[in-house]
DNA sequence: CGAAGTTACTTTATGGCGTAAGGAGTCGCA
DNA sequence: TGCGACTCCTTACGCCATAAAGTAACTTCG
């Protein structure tokens, strides 16, 4: 987990909101187009670097996102990036905000908040699965970039559709995010583990079960309720299209069911305040 | 995020379930007490290493958890640990399972599942705040240690108190964990950010707001719903004991409210299946 | 036109990390 | 007493972020 806001806050924010139009670490002034720059022409742009970094992170994961790797993808050394970006942490902030531009914001403004929130949750889940490294960027000190704010604004708008009190809404935001992000994390980690180890969920689970049986033959006695749950909730044969891995299918079921439960809870609150 | 199960799975499991009673990387056989060991007396134990590592991680965070740091705390070099533990990844697995022993399992078996689940959520939240690094250990390929299973068994037992179908229960587990872990993560990251940067949430938020105002004076127009939410959900003056930082207090409110909503949703499911 | 100044980018270096390899010393047993 | 097993250390390698200094391209000023 990486934390933002270490460096020069003003420069970070300026980069995020694209207020300065030149690389200029020295800072020739935040003002307009300037009187033409001296020195060699910049061969890169902040956008190009951010985009290359996103590609690296999408393809090979957060662990593979090094300054060297990003530079290499652009035909430069790692140090070349420091002309445009203060450091790795700030680059991460820029990446984070950049991908948030992908999130849709054009949900129909119908009275059916439940359908809208469901679509929002599904879109947000898919977004995090496209960019799983986003889950590893700290939330505590939000990056506060324009696209993140746009995404937040969308959710707030949908939530206002419930007609609930603003204080309650504010708290629901976090709950919804926790749920979607958690769901995404399970799937993302499952995929990455499969990619890294070259072993599918099924294979892994099978091997581990065998070892567990060796090492804890008294399993059913020590963990009776888990045992009961496993026997009672039969594994359900996969549907015709069994291309989706085991854990992933289960995670998606958890997502659908959990979202339903969550929305039921919100509905209860709506009914409670709606007809006092 | 670190992935488990890379190395020798059998040795990992044996370490987790403490099946081998000696360090023995060569492996004198998994069998009983053995015919007395030769060589110098081991100066360390797996437990001592795990406990030292947990202390390091608790105090200085996951980022500070290096083999060198753990060794230093025990008066050894980093390489000395490799006699007892295959590597950093496996050490993490052991730490993860070890701290799960702290989770209580003696919830009263009353019919009031709502109260029990609330207490479970609070205990689990507190646990994650005591050991925030746990949030950074991958969930996808569970470590499958004895204490983790005990903790899981506890939650399953409480959930059976709802009388719901096993399939539904299975999916609720993930939802509850997502929620609690997400809530914990917000608080943990807020604390760590404050510790690392030496800046409180209030200070940070205030400074950023000022910068944001400079860079996006049209904020209220661009993000009308966020603006509306912020003005309508007044910041609520802190209670007499304002020792709790801003974001943290907000996160706790999100936790309480969100948990209530979640349990309302479960209650709806109970009522639905209970009286068909 | 040529010197000076500015800027993009590279090379080199520092101090961190996990861990492979090999060596030194300690102990139990023959 | 010697040998093998064992713990623990030193050294080394290849990663990482990034500080510092050098090189070359380009603009502007004299």
pLDDT tens profile B209-221: 888 898 889 999 9
Provide, as residue numbers in chain B, all residues whose Cβ is less than 8 Å from the Cβ of A138: 189, 193
Least confidently predicted of A58-67, A243-252, B266-275: A243-252
Please tell me the pTM assigned to this model: 0.91
Query: Which pLDDT score, from 0 to 100, does residue B44 have?
Result: 95
Q: Which residue of A has its CA nearest to B18?
A: A215
B138 touches chain A (CB under 8 A): yes
Tell me what the mean pLDDT of segment B218-228 comes to. 95
Chain B residues within 8 A of A168 when measuring between CB atoms: 257
Task: Categorize the per-residue pLDDT at B238 as very low, low, confident or very high, splitting at 50, 70 and 90.
Answer: low
Average confidence (pLDDT) over B111-115: 92
Predicted confidence (pLDDT) per residue in A11-53, tens digit: 889 999 988 755 544 443 434 445 678 889 999 999 999 999 9
pLDDT at B248: 83
Assess whether pLDDT exceeds 50 at residue B155: yes
Chain A 149-188, CB below 8 Å of chain B: which residues? 149-150, 152-154, 156-157, 160, 166-175, 177-179, 181-183, 185-186, 188
**Using CA atoms, how far apart are residues B85 and B12, in angstroms rounded to an integer?**
9
At residue A23, the pLDDT reads 55
> How many Å apart are CA B51 and CA A138, to the nearest integer?
27
Instruction: Find the mean pLDDT for residues A176-184.
Output: 96
Mean pLDDT lowest for which of A139-143, B10-14, B60-64? A139-143
């Amino acid at each position: 987990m990486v934390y933002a806001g270490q460096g020069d806050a003003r420069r970070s924010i300026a980069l995020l909101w694209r207020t300065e139009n030149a690389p200029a670490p020295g800072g020739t002034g935040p003002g307009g187009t300037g009187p033409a720059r001296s020195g060699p022409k910049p061969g890169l742009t902040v956008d190009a670097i951010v985009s290359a970094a996103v590609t690296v992170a999408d393809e090979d994961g957060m662990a593979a996102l090094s300054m060297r790797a990003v530079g290499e993808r652009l035909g430069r050394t790692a140090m070349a990036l420091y002309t445009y970006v203060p450091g790795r942490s700030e680059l991460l902030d820029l990446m984070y905000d950049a991908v948030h531009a992908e999130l849709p914001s054009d949900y129909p403004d119908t009275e059916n908040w439940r359908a809208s929130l469901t679509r929002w949750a599904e879109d947000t889940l898919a977004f995090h699965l496209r960019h799983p490294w986003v889950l590893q960027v700290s939330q505590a000190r939000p990056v506060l970039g324009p696209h993140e704010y746009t995404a937040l604004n969308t959710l707030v708008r949908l939530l206002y559709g419930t007609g609930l009190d603003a204080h309650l809404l504010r708290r629901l935001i976090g709950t919804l995010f926790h749920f979607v992000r958690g769901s995404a994390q399970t799937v993302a980690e499952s995929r990455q583990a499969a990619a890294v180890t070259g072993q599918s969920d099924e294979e892994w689970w099978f091997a581990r079960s065998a070892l567990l049986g060796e090492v804890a033959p008294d399993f059913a006695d020590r963990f009776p309720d888990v045992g009961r749950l496993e026997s009672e909730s039969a594994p359900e044969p996969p549907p015709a299209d069994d291309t989706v891995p085991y854990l992933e299918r289960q995670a998606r079921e958890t997502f659908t069911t959990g979202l339903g439960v969550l929305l039921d809870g919100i509905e209860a609150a709506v009914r409670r305040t709606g007809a006092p």
